[in-house]
Structure 1
Amino acid sequence: MKEGYIEGAKGRLWYSVYGEDRKGTPLLVVHGGPGFLSMPQVLSDLADERPVYFYDQLGCGKSDKAKDMDDYSVEYYTKELDDVIEGLELSEVILFGHSWGAGLVCSHMLENKPEGVKALILSSPYLSTPIWEEDMKKLVSKLPEPMVEIIRKAESDHEYGEDYFGVMMEFYKRHMYTHTPFPGYLMEAIGAINQELYGVMWGPSDLELTGKLRSFDLSPRLGEITVPVLLICGDRDEMDVRTLRDFQMAMSKGQMAVIPDAGHMNHLEKPDIFKAVVRDFLD
C-alpha cells in the first residue's frame, strides 16, 4: 500500500493505493457517510488485477477539516471527486461508491459528465432522500413497539439519549452489519465519524434527516447515466431490494445483485460472494 496527499480546493485530501503497478483499469473507491472514512478491507483484495485507490473526503479520516462548516456540501464534494481523479492522474477509471458515496458518484456523473469513467459499481446506494426515508420508515415500523416509541419521543424532543442509541444499535444489527459481534475495525471507523460534518450534511441522527441532503434526489435523472452500472445490496439492507430494482431499471446498462444474509455492509459480511459478483462485472 502506498499513501499520500492531494491538494484539494479546501484542504489536503488523503489517499492510498493498492496494486499501483497492475495493468487493469483503476478502481477508485468513494466512501459513505457523510463523515465516514475509507475502509480498505475486502475491496483492496481486488488489487490483484488492477490498482485500487481510496481517498478520505474533506472533513473525513486523515484528510483536512474544512475551515468553514458551510464548505461541506453536495456541490463541493461533487467537484472534489473530479479534483481527486485529476490529482491521481486517472485518465480512465471505474468508480465504486458505497451508500452516500454512491450518490456522490452519480452526482459526479450527472454534473461533471466525465469522459474517462468507464463503469460504476454502486453498493447499497443512497440516491434519493425521499425514497431512502420511505424505506427506513418501513424498517422502523417492524421494530418492537417500545423501540418505535423511543425513536418517536427522541425525534419529537430532539433529545438522543442512551435509550435511543441502544435502539439504533439494535437497528444496525438488523440492517447495517447483521453478523455479530461487529469487527473491531468497523467499530473504530464508526467511532471516528465526524459528527459535525454528519450533522451539517445529514442531521442529528440516522433516522432524522434535516441537513443539506434534505432535498437530494437523483432518481429522476438516473436514465442519463449511460455507462455500465452494477448495483448491489444485501437482502436485509437499510434500502429495500425493490428500490434497487427501480434504480437498475432506470439505467440503460444497469445490472443488479442481492447478497444473501447481509445488510448495508454486505461487502464486509459476505466478502467471497461480494468479490465474485464484482469480479464478474469487471471482467
Structure 2
Amino acid sequence: MPVETRTVPFRDLETWVQVTTPEQPRAGALPLVVLHGGPGMAHDYVKNIAALAEETGRTVVHYDQVGCGRSTHRPDAAADFWTPALFVEEFANLVAALGLERYHVLGQSWGGMLGAEIAITRPEGLASLAICNSPASMRLWVEGANALRAELPPEVRDALDRHEAAGTIDDPEYVAATQVFYDRHVCRVQPTPQDFLDTVAQMEADPTVYHTMNGVNEFFVTGTLEDWSVVEEVAGITAPTLVIAGELDEATPETWAPFVERIPDVRSRVFAGASHCTHLEQPEAFRAVVAAFLAEHDADAATFQPS
C-alpha cells in the first residue's frame, strides 16, 4: 500500500500525518481519519487500522496529535494549553489541509472522547463516527476503574493503596501492581504487541500531555480532564455513530452508556473476551465490524487524493 508521511502547519506547531492509500480504491469509499488515545499516546498502537485501506478500498489517515509522537512537542507549555479545544482545532486544521470534504472518524480511548467533542460541533464533512473503548465522562471512567480495581488480588490492591497514599508511585512494587490491572483490562495480548510498546516508549520520553491531562495512570486520574464530560452534549451529535467496547474493557459499560442512550443514530458492539485495546486483541473481527459500518455510511464521492 502506498504510504505518505508529511507535516501540516498548525498555529506555530506542526502535526505529523500518515496517509495510507489503497492499491485499488473503491468508488465512493470515503477516507477514514483515526484519532489515537492518551491523551499523548501517539498513533503507533492504532496503526494496524491502516489495514482498512486495502480491505475497504479507502484512504486511511493517521496523525500524531501535537505534544506527542512525531508532531511538535511543548514540554514547557502551561497546563491550560492542553485542552480538548486545542485538539478539536488541530483536527479541523488537518482535514482542511488534506482537502477532505467528506470523511469518517474513528477514535480509540481518548481518541473517542475527542471524536465526540468533534462531532458535537457538527462539522459538515463528518459522514460517521466510531467511538472505541471510550467514556462519556471522566467521573464515570474513574468509578468504573475503581470497580475493576476492587476485583484485583488483595496484595495488588494493597500495593496500589499504600504507594498512592505515600506518593511513591514510581516504586517498582507500584509499577508492577499497575501492570496487573493493565494486563487484565488494557491489553490482554501477551507478549505485549510492539506497536503498543512503541507508543508507551514515546509517551514516557515526553509524558507532558498524558500527565497534564490524565494524570499518573489509567485509574489514578489527577489531570485537567478530571471533571471532563460530554454526557449532556452528545445528544446533539447528528452523525451516525458506532460505539465499540471490550467485555473486559477498562471503559466499563457504564462509562459509554451515555453515548448509546443519548446519540440519536447509534449502535453498539461489545467484543467478548476483549479489553481496552480491542483492535489489537481481535484485529480482524474489529476491522470487519468497522468496515461494515463505514460502507453503510459511505457517500457517492470521487476517490480522495490528498492535496
Indicate the TM-score class for this superposition, using the shorter chain for normalisation. Answer: over 0.9
What letter is aligned with 1:26? P
The 2-side partners of 1:57 and 1:185 are apart by 17
Q: Is the 8 A contact 1:135 1:238 kept in 2?
A: yes
Q: Select which of 190, 196, 200 maps to 2:208.
A: 196
Q: Is the 8 A contact 1:46 1:52 kept in 2?
A: yes
Q: Which residue of 2 aligns with 1:113?
A: 122
Q: Is the 8 A contact 2:67 2:208 kept in 1?
A: no
Q: Counterparts of 1:40-189 in structure 2 under 5 Å? A: 40-48=46-54, 49-66=57-74, 68-70=76-78, 71-110=81-120, 112-160=121-169, 161-189=171-199
SS in 2 for 1:7: strand
Does the alignment pair 1:269 with 2:281?
A: yes
The 2-side partners of 1:68 and 1:165 are apart by 26
Q: Is the 8 A contact 1:3 1:16 kept in 2?
A: yes
Q: Is the 8 A contact 1:245 1:256 kept in 2?
A: no
Q: Which moved more, 1:130-139 or 1:149-158?
A: 149-158
What letter is aligned with 2:30? T
Q: Which residue of 1 aligns with 2:32?
A: 27
The 2-side partners of 1:72 and 1:199 are apart by 11
Instruction: Give the CA deviation at 1:20.
Output: 6.2
The 1-side partners of 2:112 and 2:244 are apart by 11
The 2-side partners of 1:244 and 1:217 are apart by 11
RMSD over equivalenced CA pairs, Å:
1.6
Instruction: Give the CA deviation at 1:266.
Output: 0.5
SS in 1 for 2:209: helix
Q: Which moved more, 1:194-203 or 1:251-260?
A: 194-203
What letter is aligned with 2:67? G
Q: Select which of 232, 239, 242 maps to 2:244.
A: 232
Q: Is the 8 A contact 1:202 1:214 kept in 2?
A: yes
Structure with the bigger RCO (C-alpha within 8 Å, sep 6+) is 2
Instruction: Give the CA deviation at 1:207.
Output: 2.1
Size of the aligned set, in residue pairs, is 282
SS in 2 for 1:153: helix
Instruction: Give the CA deviation at 1:180.
Output: 1.2
The 2-side partners of 1:123 and 1:179 are apart by 18
Q: Which residue of 2 aligns with 1:6?
A: 8
Q: Select which of 259, 266, 282 maps to 1:254.
A: 266
The 1-side partners of 2:265 and 2:168 are apart by 44
The 1-side partners of 2:237 and 2:108 are apart by 17
Q: Is the 8 A contact 1:11 1:66 kept in 2?
A: no
The 1-side partners of 2:35 and 2:94 are apart by 10
What letter is aligned with 2:125? G
Flag the 1:115–1:204 CA change in 2: closer, same or farther, 3 A.
same
The 1-side partners of 2:160 and 2:76 are apart by 31
The 1-side partners of 2:195 and 2:63 are apart by 17
Q: Which segments of 5 or more consecutive residues in structure 2 lack a partner in the other structure?
A: 296-307
Flag the 1:67–1:203 CA change in 2: closer, same or farther, 3 A.
closer
Flag the 1:127–1:78 CA change in 2: closer, same or farther, 3 A.
same
The 2-side partners of 1:76 and 1:114 are apart by 16
Q: Which moved more, 1:261-270 or 1:186-195?
A: 186-195
Q: Which segments of 5 or more consecutive residues in structure 1 lack a partner in the other structure?
A: none
Instruction: Give the CA deviation at 1:157.
Output: 1.9
Instruction: Give the CA deviation at 1:158.
Output: 2.0
Instruction: Give the CA deviation at 1:46.
Output: 0.8
* TM-score in terms of structure 2 length: 0.88
The percentage of counterpart residues that share the same residue type is 27
Q: Which residue of 1 aligns with 2:304?
A: none
Instruction: Give the CA deviation at 1:113.
Output: 2.7
The 1-side partners of 2:245 and 2:265 are apart by 17
Q: Is the 8 A contact 1:37 1:57 kept in 2?
A: yes
Q: Deviations over 1:11-32 (max 9, x none)?
A: 1110001116834101000100
Q: Following superposition, which runs of at least 4 residues in structure 1 exceed 6 angstroms of deviation?
A: none
The 2-side partners of 1:204 and 1:227 are apart by 34
